[in-house]
Structure 1
Amino acid sequence: MSTAAPASPLRYLGGYPEPLLAQVRELIETERLGPMLARRYPEPHQVRTDRALFDYVDELKSRHMRNAGPLAKVHYDNKLHVIRNALGTHTAVSRVQGGRLVAKREIRVATLFRDAPAAFLRMIVVHELAHLKQREHDKAFYALCTHMEPDYHQLEFDTRLYLTQLELAAGSGDAG
């Protein structure tokens, strides 16, 4: 018999107020969380390949952040969620090329977003694009996120609910 404590089903929701967490617990206990998310976010996306993801990210970047430097690489990464407990990352690698300092920017998105609703992919892409200009999760960062996606805060919360549902379904052996 295992003595390890089970992972909190609300580990993605740290920092939210207790009354809201109580509502989430009730949705979980009554098995309404998954159906609620499926009703609210029925739209899948067609961004299946790394090339399609690059084009999707680049289009959002062109629309909202014309002055940000070019992206060298954008791809799905199947190691992000497991190893780093991250859903996306952004990096800038600087190299000297011919006496110039050149920065190559890269965005990686957790592979689980390949099968997520379209709105959740958009939220994580907006989040990582905002990091191109704002490194810290501060007021300016979230202002940029909401500039690119007005419903950003709701989508971030619902993405956290989605991750909670995925974890609960995996623990029970259900597919979704």
Structure 2
Amino acid sequence: MPSSKVKLAPLKYLSSYSLEVQDQVRTMIEQDTLGQFLLKKHPKVHDIKNDKLLREYVINLKNTHLRKSSPLSKVIYDKKIHAVNNALGLHTFISRVQGNKLKSKNEIRISDIFKTAPEVFLEMIVVHELAHIRIKQHDKAFYQLCQHMLPNYHQLEFEMRVYLTQLELKGQIYK
């Protein structure tokens, strides 16, 4: 039976969700309706296609929610992130001694798969990486900060994981 193979296939982006939720997504995969679900929920992609626009977008979010935190020295789309680090975005923090002062640099790199995604998925990844400026580890305080900046953070994270599942199994639905 062909559908049993799909049922047994692990959904790596959704593995931390309940079996009931995973089964609902598997049913949508079997019925080939996952892409339609995403397009209905998030019909348009954003226009933030280059590093300059991404930097402006990130700085605007940072200034809205984390005004007093350290400045960002670099914000870019990175085509290597997804394949190399098995991540969607990276926040790096580098401290250097210059003379008798300690200088720090914060960088945010976003996987370039988000160039052709709905803005809410880009926003969710950016909020996640911005939260790392204040809180380095993924703990309760970290996720509270994410929710403070983006109240529907957890729902968007789930939908973004469904989007990644769609990308992996069926390819791009947004052009």
Partner of 2:121: 120
Tell me the secondary structure at the aligned position of residue 20 of structure 1: helix
Give yes or no for the alignment of 1:90 onto 2:105.
no
Structure 1 unaligned runs (5+)? 1-5
| Residue range with higher mean Cα deviation, 93-102 or 109-118 | 93-102
CA deviation vs aligned residue, 1:117-168 (integer Å, no higher than 9, x gap): 1110000000000111111111101110011111100000000000000011
Partner of 1:51: 52
> How many angstroms apart in 2 are the aligned matches of 1:9 and 1:129?
30
CA positional deviation for 1:15? 1.2
**Letter in structure 1 aligned against 2:52:** R
Distance 1:76 1:68, change over 3 A: same
Q: Report the more deviating stretch, 43-52 or 113-122.
A: 43-52
TM-score where L is the length of structure 1 = 0.91
Instruction: Tell whether 2:146 aligns with 1:145.
Output: yes
Give the structure 1 partner of residue 130 of structure 2.
129
> What's the CA shift string for 1:103-129, capped at 9, x where partnerless?
010000000001111110000000000
RMSD: 1.5
Identity rate, percent: 51
> Distance between the aligned counterparts of 1:96 and 1:51, measured in 2?
29
2:109 counterpart residue number: 108
Residue matched to 2:39: 38
User: Match of 1:3?
Assistant: none
Instruction: Name the CA distance, whole Å, in 2 between partners of 1:41 and 1:9.
Output: 25
**What are the ranges of 5 or more consecutive residues in structure 2 without an aligned counterpart?**
1-5
TM-superposed CA distance for 1:8, in Å, is 4.2
Pairing of 1:53-92 with structure 2 (within 5 A):
53-92=54-93
Query: 2:168 is paired with a residue of what secondary structure?
Result: helix
What letter corresponds to residue 161 of structure 2 in structure 1?
Answer: R
1:169 counterpart = 2:165: no
Shift of 1:44: 1.5
CA distance in 2, matches of 1:91, 1:8: 34
In the alignment, which residue of structure 1 is the partner of 2:11? 10
Q: 1:21 to 1:132 in 2, by over 3 A?
A: same
Deviation at 1:43, TM superposition (A): 2.6
